[in-house]
A and B are shown apart, each in its own frame.
Chain A
Amino acid sequence: MTELRPLIEVRHVDKHFASTGTRALKDVSLSIHAGEVICIVGPSGCGKSTLLRTLNVLEPVSAGEVWIEGVSVHARGARLDRLRTKVGMVFQQFNLFPHLDVLENLMLAPLKVLRQPVASVRARALALLDQVGLADKARSRPGQLSGGQQQRVAIARALCMQPDVMLFDEPTSALDPEMVGEVLDVMRDLALKGMTMCIVTHEMAFARAVATRAVFMEAGSIVWQDAPERFFSNPENARLRAFLGRPG
């Protein structure tokens, strides 16, 4: 029954930040199965970004367990770098490589990490740029692009590694309002194509439209999760109701 095995699973995860003395995650468990689109919502500082960052071990956990594609990341000799190639990530601040042009940004990791041949990587990168509507920007530098364009390049860069899961950490929060739409369109497109996604977002309408499961976090814990329809229109949890009822 391999199809039931989650692509990523975290079990009873705790995260302490020693420097600030805060507990960002308290006994959090979550599994992501192939084909799911999970949207994580919650107030600022509730630990949703931290949770997302533990899913590809960018943030090591203080306690609990993380499995990526059935491999425990805590096992001796676990090849974290290898496991991360299966998990794409898109950041709030884009984090494109400013010293490389757009095409080089996409091609760097497939060439250096997967050691794939240049010709096939290049063809895939150009196809992905076309998919996100930036085929004409292949030779531009990130600094010459708008925020929305940069974020679309960042999505294409993560996709160029041909990951099984894509993680999005508030991908539209750093964007001017008029650019939010173009990035959400690319993500909606991706969800329709069947990509497994885990999205931390404040865009409730978008979450409701694309999610297969919605997760509500508060104070480092998962408080409630449900199908998006019930989650947003008829929340059965009082704290979620309060969160959704807040204006904005």
Chain B
Amino acid sequence: MRAETSTLRGGWIGHLAAVIVVLAVGLSLYYASRQIDYEWRWERIPHYLVETGGTEITAPFDGTAKLAPDGHSLSLTPLLGGGEPVTVAGFDRIEVSDGDIVFAGNTLGREHGWSAGPLAIGLWMTLKISLVSLVFALILGLVVGLGRVSHRVVARDLAALYVEVIRGTPLLVQIFIFYFFIGTVLSLSAFAAGVAALSVFTGAYIAEIVRGGIEAVPRGQTEAARSLGMSAFQAMRHVVLPQALRSTSPALAGQFINLIKDSSLVSIMALTDLTKAGREVVSSTFSPFEVWFCVALLYLALTGTLSFAVRRLERRMGRHD
């Protein structure tokens, strides 16, 4: 640590200089934006993150509403079939009048409270598609990575072909192929097609990381394991792979962060992730500057939290060695 600090020059003055540069860039951007005809409306943005208008309560079926005297519930008599009236409760504000005919899905009233806005829902979708893709990408990457170091030529060839094809084509094109071709042929949902495209793409990079990790484990480890009577599979499973995965965990975490960012490309499919949600909010607010800054910050929060957590984890694991 000591040697490291002695090679750094500038100290706190350097940090100060960095802050000044950032402020200068920010200010000049601000003045530049003042030159164009644009009205900043930041106050609109929180509304799209967290909905404070409350949750809608909708009619479960077509019927006639009859308000209860307490003002917090109503009974709904089915229009057809003459079934028993059903009580719908939990309203803070009722938005229909006594005797109104409502149809299934119509808003009856609202319950106060907070609910997720479109940006928050998009963020959740981004997180969900990234996590699900990560699981499949890890499995795929592990299998292909093992194939790359296999003694079987067929496994080596197939793994190398897969890695070359995937790394040699743009993710956007792969997503189009998965969505329009494979998705149609196998009738996959947009989510499934998105997960498939992202897993296959990330899997190729993870395979290379896994291969590098395995090749970095000294040959003597395999020899020691084999000399103890372990099969090639057992030596890989109990001796080589645990060491390889430990040494590559920073690279794997970096790949996960890339995956989160790459997932923004699935917004071209009918999938409302954070980027797509941003586009929708822009089209309803006409405030593209604020919305895209906000979306960028949300991605940054996600990846920043993750890399922080990974660094903590690494330090804890490092202490055990």
Enumerate chain A interface residues (CB-CB to B < 8 A): 56, 58, 81-82, 84-85, 87-89, 91, 93, 95-99, 108-109, 112-114, 141, 143, 154, 157-158, 161
Verify B223–A157 contact, CB threshold 8 A: no
Taking a contact as CB atoms under 8 Å apart, the answer to whether A98 and B243 are in contact is: yes
Q: Which of B221, B228, B230, B234 has the most CB of A within 10 A?
A: B228
Q: B residues engaging A (CB < 8 A)?
A: 218, 220-221, 223-231, 234, 238-239, 242-243, 246, 320-321
Residues of A within 8 A of B243 (CB): 97-99
Inter-subunit contact A99/B242 (CB<8 Å):
yes
Cβ of B74 to closest chain A Cβ, rounded Å: 65
A56 CA / B223 CA spacing, docked (Å):
11
* Listed A/B pairs (15) with beta-carbon separation below 8 Å: A58-B223, A81-B229, A81-B231, A84-B226, A91-B224, A91-B227, A93-B218, A95-B220, A95-B221, A97-B243, A99-B243, A109-B228, A109-B230, A112-B230, A141-B320
Q: Could you say which of A93, A143, A161 contacts B229, with CB atoms under 8 Å apart?
A: A161
Please give, as numbers and ranges, the residues of chain A lying within 8 Å of B246 by CB-CB distance: 99
Report the minimal beta-carbon distance from A216 to chain B, rounded to whole angstroms: 25
B36 to nearest A CB, angstroms? 59
The answer to whether B228 touches A157 (Cβ under 8 A) is: yes
Chain B neighbourhood of A114, CB < 8 A: 229
A-side contacts of B225, CB under 8 Å? 97, 109
Chain A residues near B227: list those with CB within 8 A: 56, 58, 84, 87-89, 91, 158
Q: Which residues of B contact A91 (CB under 8 A)?
A: 220, 223-224, 227
Q: Give the residues in chain B near A113, CB-CB below 8 Å.
A: 228-230, 234
In the complex, what distance in Å separates the CA atom of A87 from the CA atom of B231? Answer: 15
Would you call B239 and A97 a contact (CB within 8 A)?
A: yes
* Closest A-B pairs by Cβ, 7 of them: A85-B229, A109-B228, A95-B224, A89-B227, A95-B220, A113-B229, A84-B229
Q: Which chain A residue has the least Cβ–Cβ distance from B247? A: A99
| A149-B227 Cα distance, complex, nearest whole Å | 20
